């Protein structure tokens, strides 16, 4: 039999990996997917409770999405998107504009999340430049933010694991000390607090607001930081503060959009609208790489003028508005339209959180179990009282990951935070299995 894993390692440099780790743990060679399951070439079954890096929204090889994609492939695979358009993109924007937070109505297409972030940053800067505020040349973002991996997106991010090494080549960002609800320096609780920590944002805006074009934020959930969750009130306050200083509020809903937080978009929890929203991941159900930023008429209008004024947004990607990706995005909306999937996911989220709490909360190394929507995170600590983390060198999360993988559950913890972020269609028996395996593996490693 052909050794696919060996051959893979001969050629492929995998993302976000120390390739030497693959000496001991070979890559799983996946042959097919169905619902929440993946199957490798040897027929082994894996439960994908992390939605293949958070993008698979409605299960693998969803029959409706696959069918729509096939149909589209038979009609039109791609077309230049400058001066040309197609029905799939138009339909998609029309449908999204009806469900997005109020005011978001103009769509710009890119082909991955990081690119959408960078396009949004460029638009914000250019807007200010063209409306009499050329001094607004900087960007603000929260501590421990994650907005992608390209140089601009990486600059606004603040997760040491990804950014630290590259600091010398990154942009100079204004960092806002953000919420840290598990280790709250104010001794408050995210369920009842008044976002006392927001004073840090106020201080930063007072100092740098006048030179800042936009503030980027992952609403309610800082995913890569370890599924850190903070209250909607923070976003409401941020909206007011941004208005006060004429700073754009850019919502990075790449991870939180499409029902992940229990509502279609996380910003809905706060009842306010951002000036620009970035979407990707769930947008195509995890089928095709595509992203959009959506903005307001007001921002759009600042670019709308005679060609020779030079006000156009001269930003492009070859695959902007790809019809295959748009067909998947429309198919996803077909499935979400009647609200039944989101409703079931909300009901199941209550169950999921309950069984996770019952299983994990009493363990000596579980510092916190937090959840939003179906996303649940278990933060492991060395000392529950002091919240002291484990020494990162022990790679505690990674040890648990390897054990769970053997038993056919894909966990991929963020450091020592074990989390679940399953497709919205996951059923209770699969939740039960994921929780049981994760707990067993954790106790095997930690006692
Ligand atoms: C994944 C992600 C990105 C980057 O998207 P890519 O498609 O991986 O470039 C940006 N922001 C958030 C919040 C994400 O989760």
Binning pLDDT at 50, 70 and 90, where does residue 179 land? very high
Three-class secondary structure of residue 178 per DSSP:
coil
| 41 touches 404 (CB < 8 A) | no
Q: Are strands 228-229 and 221-222 parallel, antiparallel or unpaired?
A: antiparallel
Residues of the chain with CATH 3.90.1150.10: 4-62+339-446
Contacts of 350 (CB under 8 A, 6+ apart): none
pTM of the predicted structure, to 2 decimals: 0.98
Q: Are strands 138-142 and 174-176 parallel, antiparallel or unpaired?
A: parallel
Per DSSP (E only), the strands in 230-331 are: 248-252, 276-279, 291-295
Mutate to test the pocket of ligand 1, among 148, 293, 372 (most ligand atoms within 8 A of CB): 148
Verify whether ligand 1 is closer than 6 Å to residue 260 (CB atom). Answer: no
Atom 7 of ligand 1: nearest residue by CA position: 113
Provide, rounded to the nearest whole percent, the portion of the chain with pLDDT above 90. Answer: 100
Q: What is the 3-state secondary structure (H, E, C) of 155-172?
A: HHCCCHHHHHHHHHHCCC
- Assess whether pLDDT exceeds 80 at residue 141: yes
| Token pair in block for residue 290 | 């595509």
Spacing, Cα 282 to ligand 1 middle (Å)? 11
What is the C-alpha to C-alpha distance for residues 287 and 107, in angstroms, rounded to an integer? 20
Sign of CA dihedral 315, 317, 322, 325: negative
Binning pLDDT at 50, 70 and 90, where does residue 151 land? very high
Spacing, Cα 114 to ligand 1 middle (Å)? 6
- Interior CA angle at 90 toward 89 and 92, to 5°? 65
**CATH code, 4-62+339-446:** 3.90.1150.10
What is the C-alpha to C-alpha distance for residues 212 and 227, in angstroms, rounded to an integer? 27
pLDDT at 2: 83
Verify whether ligand 1 is closer than 6 Å to residue 111 (CB atom). Answer: no
Average pLDDT, integer, range 162-185:
97
Type and span of the H or E element at 348:
helix 340-360
Verify whether ligand 1 is closer than 6 Å to residue 110 (CB atom). Answer: no
409: left (phi over 0), alpha (psi -120 to 50) or beta: beta
| 184 touches 111 (CB < 8 A) | no
| Token pair in block for residue 30 | 């996946």
Verify whether ligand 1 is closer than 6 Å to residue 118 (CB atom). Answer: no
**pLDDT tens across 291-344, in order?**
999 999 999 999 999 999 999 999 999 999 999 999 999 999 999 999 999 999
Provide, rounded to the nearest whole percent, the portion of the chain with pLDDT above 70. Answer: 100
Average pLDDT, integer, range 172-182:
98
| 441 touches 400 (CB < 8 A) | yes
For the residues of 194-233, what is the DSSP string, one character each? --TTHHHHHHHHHHHGGGEEEEEE--SEESTTTSEE--TH
* DSSP label at residue 372: E
- Assess whether pLDDT exceeds 80 at residue 1: no
pLDDT at 101: 98
What is the fold, at CATH topology level, of the domain defined by 67-336?
Answer: 3.40.640
Verify whether ligand 1 is closer than 6 Å to residue 119 (CB atom). Answer: no
For the chain, give the mean pLDDT: 98
Verify whether ligand 1 is closer than 6 Å to residue 204 (CB atom). Answer: no
Residues of the chain with CATH 3.40.640.10: 67-336
pLDDT at 34: 98
**pLDDT tens across 77-118, in order?**
999 999 999 999 999 999 999 999 999 999 999 999 999 999
pLDDT at 10: 97
Three-class secondary structure of residue 140 per DSSP:
strand
**pLDDT tens across 202-253, in order?**
999 999 999 999 999 999 999 999 999 999 999 999 999 999 999 999 999 9
Three-class secondary structure of residue 44 per DSSP:
coil
Verify whether ligand 1 is closer than 6 Å to residue 280 (CB atom). Answer: yes
What is the C-alpha to C-alpha distance for residues 256 and 304, in angstroms, rounded to an integer? 31
Nearest Cα to Cα of residue 275 among 105, 90, 53: 105
Contacts of 406 (CB under 8 A, 6+ apart): none
Verify whether ligand 1 is closer than 6 Å to residue 228 (CB atom). Answer: no
pLDDT at 424: 98
């Amino acid at each position: 039999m052909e050794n696919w894993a060996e051959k893979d390692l001969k050629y492929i440099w995998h993302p976000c990996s120390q390739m030497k780790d693959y000496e001991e743990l070979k890559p799983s060679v996946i042959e097919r997917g169905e619902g929440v399951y993946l199957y490798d070439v040897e027929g082994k079954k894996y439960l994908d409770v992390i939605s293949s890096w958070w993008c698979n929204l409605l299960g693998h090889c969803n029959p409706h999405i696959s069918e729509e994609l096939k149909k589209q492939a038979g009609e039109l695979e791609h077309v230049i998107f400058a001066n040309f358009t197609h029905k799939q993109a138009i339909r998609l924007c029309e449908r999204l504009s009806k469900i997005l937070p109020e005011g978001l109505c103009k769509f710009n297409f890119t082909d991955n999340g990081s690119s959408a972030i960078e396009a949004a940053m460029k638009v914000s800067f250019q807007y200010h430049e063209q409306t009499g505020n050329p001094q607004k040349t900087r960007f603000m973002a929260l501590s421990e933010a994650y907005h992608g991996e390209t140089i601009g997106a990486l600059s606004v991010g603040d997760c040491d694991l990804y950014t630290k090494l590259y600091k010398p080549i990154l942009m100079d960002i204004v960092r806002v000390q953000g919420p840290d609800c598990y280790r709250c320096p104010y001794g408050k609780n995210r369920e009842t607090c008044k976002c006392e920590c927001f004073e840090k944002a106020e201080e930063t805006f007072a100092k740098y607001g006048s030179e800042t074009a936009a503030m980027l934020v992952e609403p309610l959930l800082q995913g890569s930081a370890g599924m850190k969750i903070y209250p909607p009130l923070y976003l409401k306050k941020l909206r007011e503060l941004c208005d006060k200083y004429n700073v754009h509020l850019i919502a990075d809903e790449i991870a939180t959009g499409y029902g992940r937080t229990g509502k279609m978009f996380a910003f809905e929890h706060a009842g306010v609208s951002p000036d620009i929203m970035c979407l990707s991941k769930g947008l195509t159900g995890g089928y095709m790489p595509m992203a959009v930023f959506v903005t307001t008429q007001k921002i759009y209008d600042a670019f709308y003028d005679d060609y020779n004024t030079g006000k156009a947004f001269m930003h492009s990607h070859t695959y902007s508005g790809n019809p295959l990706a748009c067909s998947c995005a429309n198919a996803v909306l077909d499935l979400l339209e009647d609200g039944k999937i989101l409703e079931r996911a909300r009901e199941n989220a209550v169950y999921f959180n309950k069984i996770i709490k019952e299983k994990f909360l009493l363990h000596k190394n579980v510092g916190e179990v937090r959840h939003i929507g179906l996303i649940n995170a278990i933060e492991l600590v060395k000392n529950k009282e002091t919240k002291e983390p484990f020494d990162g060198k022990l790679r505690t999360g990674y040890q648990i990951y390897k054990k769970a993988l053997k038993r056919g559950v894909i966990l991929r913890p963020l450091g020592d935070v074990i989390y679940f972020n399953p497709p919205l269609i996951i059923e209770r028996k699969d939740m039960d299995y994921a929780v049981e395996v994760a707990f067993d593996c954790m106790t095997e490693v930690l006692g």
